[in-house]
Chains A and B, each alone.
Chain A
């Protein structure tokens, strides 16, 4: 492990320690969150940040994609670049989707998010290199899939028919929360992966891991498309 990435992880650990206590305090608020969003009016920054962060940490689809993205990124600079591109992508469509009142079918968008995981798993196996003779630009891919993930985030918050009072502030707070959640989740993933990378098993099992990633993505696609067809009947 390079010194720069180990210091980055140390920083993350400190921040995780600080945030963990908040997460524990608010444990088991799911029904309350729903109630809050239903009756809520006006601006409230911290609650929306919290809801955003919680969605990201509990959102295994976003996390699986991130695992795929950073699987072969070995230094902090690359991780920051790719994660920033993903963040930029999903922030654009989250804000555009909610503020522009764009209604995307949540099942279809979640199926596309599933596809992004399959794509990244296949990409990590060198599948595109083998199939096409070259690897499609990974930065463009992470950005484009970021756009789709953003629409997915937008549909989750749109479910609640938010009042127009303070909508922009609330959505920005939600977005910031999403980034905090992503930061925490990424920290946990990086800690796990960094330990794992010390062992030769990491590369040895990379085929198995990315196959499993593809499989999870396919499950999500099947799950969401079934939901879509059921909802159409």
Chain B
């Protein structure tokens, strides 16, 4: 069976159905969808229904945490503020070659965070990672010579009810992982 056994509607019904479908689609598009999605509101009804505020809210683009001008593996320094949302964990990773050197220091505004400073070998598919430090602290300072090429970085977990800002200063040969 390469066709479906379906009732064939009369030409009048078909025309009526097509026109009704098109009209309904246009009305919903113009009054609801376009105002809410794109802030296009030719009738002004979207504004009355407060739908345009949805589009306006999404036009504010979130600020990226780190936007380095260049991503090369030469020696560089960065200072970034990383916001760990309340009751959430966040990873911040650097891509580094083997035996690359990194100096780092991070501090919070006082709150203590559980963290895991670790590295994952490049190309590893088993989920293996090596932890360099796991503890709870509000700051840490040190240096790392990577044991293998891959992504190295921190996982912070914020168990408090408010977001915590981690200020991280790093110096070394790395590429910030987007």
Q: List A residues at the B interface (Cβ < 8 Å).
A: 35, 38-39, 41-44, 72-73, 78, 118, 121-127, 129-131, 134-135, 137-140, 161, 165-166, 169, 203, 206-207, 210-212, 214-216, 218-219, 222-223, 226-227, 230
The main secondary structure of chain B at its interface with chain A is mixed
B38 within 8 A of A: yes
A73–B34 alpha-carbon span in the complex (Å): 35
- Across-interface contacts of A118 in B (CB, < 8 A): 21
A138–B2 alpha-carbon span in the complex (Å): 6
A-B contact pairs, 20 of them (CB 8 A): A39-B177, A41-B151, A42-B120, A42-B123, A44-B127, A121-B21, A124-B4, A125-B14, A130-B11, A131-B14, A135-B4, A137-B2, A140-B2, A165-B123, A165-B124, A210-B17, A211-B17, A218-B21, A219-B29, A222-B33
- Across-interface contacts of B11 in A (CB, < 8 A): 130
A212–B13 alpha-carbon span in the complex (Å): 14
> Contact at A126–B6, with CB atoms within 8 Å?
yes
A137–B2 alpha-carbon span in the complex (Å): 5
Q: List B residues at the A interface (Cβ < 8 Å).
A: 1-11, 13-14, 17-18, 20-22, 24-26, 28-29, 33-34, 37-38, 40, 90-91, 93, 120, 122-125, 127, 151, 177-178
New A-B pairs, 9, CB < 8 Å, besides A129-B6, A130-B8, A139-B2: A39-B93, A41-B120, A72-B5, A130-B14, A138-B3, A161-B178, A219-B25, A222-B34, A226-B37
Complex partner residue of A125 from B13, B40, B90, CB under 8 angstroms: B13
CB closest residue in chain A, given B90: A35
- Across-interface contacts of B123 in A (CB, < 8 A): 42, 165
> Contact at A207–B125, with CB atoms within 8 Å?
no
With contact pairs A125-B9, A126-B6, A130-B9 given, residues A207 and B17 touching in the complex (Cβ less than 8 Å): yes
- Across-interface contacts of B24 in A (CB, < 8 A): 212, 215
- Across-interface contacts of B120 in A (CB, < 8 A): 41-42
A226–B25 alpha-carbon span in the complex (Å): 14
> Contact at B91–A39, with CB atoms within 8 Å?
yes
> Contact at B37–A227, with CB atoms within 8 Å?
yes
> Contact at B125–A219, with CB atoms within 8 Å?
no
> Contact at B7–A206, with CB atoms within 8 Å?
yes
A233 to chain B, nearest CB (A): 11
CB closest residue in chain A, given B40: A226
B56 to chain A, nearest CB (A): 14
- Across-interface contacts of A44 in B (CB, < 8 A): 127
> Contact at B25–A222, with CB atoms within 8 Å?
yes
